[in-house]
Amino acid sequence: MRCSLLGTILAVSLLTSAFPLSAAVAAEDTRIEETSSKTAKLLQELLRFDSSNPGGQTLGQAEYLKKLFDAAGAETEIIVTPSGQAHFIARLKGDGSKKPVLLAAHSDVVPAERSGWSVDPFAGVIQDGYVLGRGAMDFKGGQAVFARAVLMLAENKVPLSRDVIFLAEADEEAGEYGTSWLAENYWEKIDAEFALNEGGWIFQNGAGETTQVNITTRDKIYVSLKLTAAGKPTHSSRPMTESAISHLTQALAKITQWDTDPTLNEQTREYFRALSRTAKEPLASHLKKLAEGKKPEELREAGRKVVELGDYPLLWHALMRNTVAPTMVNAGIKENVIPGTAEAIINVRLVPGSTPYEVMEQLRKVVNDPEVKIELASGMTDSEAREYYDKKTNAPASPVDTELYRALEESSKQVWPKAEVVPALFEAGTDGSAWRDRGVPVYGIYPYPLDNETLERMHGNDERISIRSLNEGTEMIYETLRKVAGR
């Protein structure tokens, strides 16, 4: 009886302590990961440089990176732009038997609205297994992963068949002295057989398992349109029902309530077909219908269900169509004057194969107001614009039969065995065109698995990336470089 009672007590004790013990073990694993991750520590340091664009400076960050790579024995250089910003270049020398591979990551970040943050966005705070800060995900996290992977080649004395170039860029978020300026003036320093940049997403499911690695081979085409409304200027004490502002606000209200139809090309069809192979029902069937549908009504319904059921609704919504987003509004010269004009900027991201003129015509029908003029915001002439967008539309995607793509594919499967690796379209834009325009294949990746909440914090408050994802991404990029550049 006594043994039975003791057994019961022991069993109850073990049962009641099991979950707290598991939590304690998990917490300890997280703590060890936080304190031992060299990539996370590097990211913390990078986040402490306020490189906001506009308003910040990339020179201090470039000088910090130079010290790290000088200590590793790399050839290094800082190139200061006419505006005082800085590009940093480090080169690990190979034996020259193959052309270099380049890893490019921008140092500048979008500004932070500090009032919306729970932590200082430039303090490099670690919280609950995540590094928080402006640029943690876009793209100082990627810069930290790329830099650590290259430094590991030097630390491990990996013999190289080709140079490995690491580039920390300025003026990606805005400005005239980004990679296009760098390529025009210093091409010999960044010329390579192929390049790795920001781009594709690495998806996690609800259980934290990595299910898909997207390697982007092309970006959506960036277009800004300008809406201009005209009206009669007069004193604000005598308001009118018809004014420039009223015309513009009604137009914007219509646009925000409207959506473009799904517009897919061969690349995005194959992408959604690949997603269907790893998704669960009923999402898998809707993804397949979206990939294979022909009729507009079929695509609309499939697209609606994919967004409704998907783990990444905003991302998948953007990838299946030309997106239209009002981003800037400007009107008025004084608070007691009803202005004679009002303007808004509409940012459009085109699926390759579409043109801005198609979207402009759709918007004119939606707005349906002769007092609102819709035109390209670029300032280019019509002939210049048509030539530019024809070139962008006809530019081929980077091929998937190169050594770099194969190395990315193999290393991804090595780190995440259950994940499917697929070439993809990037729903935004990058500065990879500096290489693509010169015939150099560019592959894009945000080199860390992430969930939808992390994705939606990009450019938002409490931007973050998990330390575990940083570690896994560093391993994947290091293995990629060993495969593509090692002898």
pLDDT at 242: 87
Residue 15 has pLDDT above 60, yes or no: no
- Of 184, 145, 202, 188, which is closest to residue 168 (Cα–Cα)? 145
As a whole-number percent, the residues of the chain with pLDDT over 70 amount to 93
| pLDDT tens per residue, range 110-142 | 999 999 999 999 999 999 999 999 999 999 999
Q: What is the pTM of this model?
A: 0.87
Environment class of residue 131 by beta-carbon count within 10 Å: exposed (0-12), middle (13-18) or buried (19+)?
Answer: buried
State the average pLDDT over residues 439-466. Answer: 96
Indicate if the pLDDT at residue 16 is higher than 50.
no
Lookup result for tokens 């800004």: 224
Instruction: Note the pLDDT of residue 201.
Output: 95
22 residue type, one letter: S
Read off the pLDDT of residues 409-421 as tens digits, 9 standing for 90 and up.
999 999 999 999 9
Domains and CATH numbers, the chain: 36-220+396-485 (3.40.630.10), 221-394 (3.30.70.360)
Q: How confident is the model at residue 207 (pLDDT cuts 50, 70, 90)?
A: confident
- Please report the pLDDT score of residue 7 as a whole number: 46
Going by pLDDT thresholds of 50, 70 and 90, the confidence category of residue 19 is: very low
- Say what the pLDDT of residue 35 is: 57
Q: Is residue 346 scored above 60 in pLDDT?
A: yes
Tally Cβ neighbours within 10 Å of residue 191: 17
Give which of 266, 274, 229, 281 is closest to 251, Cα–Cα: 229
pLDDT for the residue 206? 79
- Among 145-149, 218-222, 317-321, 378-382, whose mean pLDDT is lowest? 378-382
The DSSP bridge pattern shows strands 86-92 and 101-106 to be unpaired
Q: pLDDT-based confidence at 4, cuts 50/70/90?
A: very low
Q: What residues contact residue 202 under an 8 Å CB cut-off, 6+ apart? A: 210, 212, 213, 214, 412, 416, 419, 445, 446, 447, 448, 449, 450, 469, 473
- Would the pLDDT of 8 be above 50? no
What average pLDDT does the segment 192-200 reach? 97
Q: What is the pLDDT of residue 278?
A: 84
Report the alpha-carbon angle 381-384-387, nearest 5: 145
pLDDT exceeds cutoff 70 at 96: yes
Average pLDDT on 348-375 reads 96
> Above 80 in pLDDT, residue 392?
yes
Q: What is the mean pLDDT of the chain?
A: 92
3-state class percentages of the chain: helix first, strand second, coil last, to nearest 5: 45, 25, 30
Q: What is the pLDDT of residues 39-89, one digit of tens each?
A: 999 999 999 999 999 999 999 999 999 999 999 999 999 999 999 999 999
Phi-psi region of 169 (alpha: psi -120 to 50; beta: other; left: phi over 0): beta
pLDDT confidence tier of residue 394, bands split at 50, 70 and 90: confident
For the residues 203-208, what does the mean pLDDT come to?
A: 86
pLDDT at 29: 53
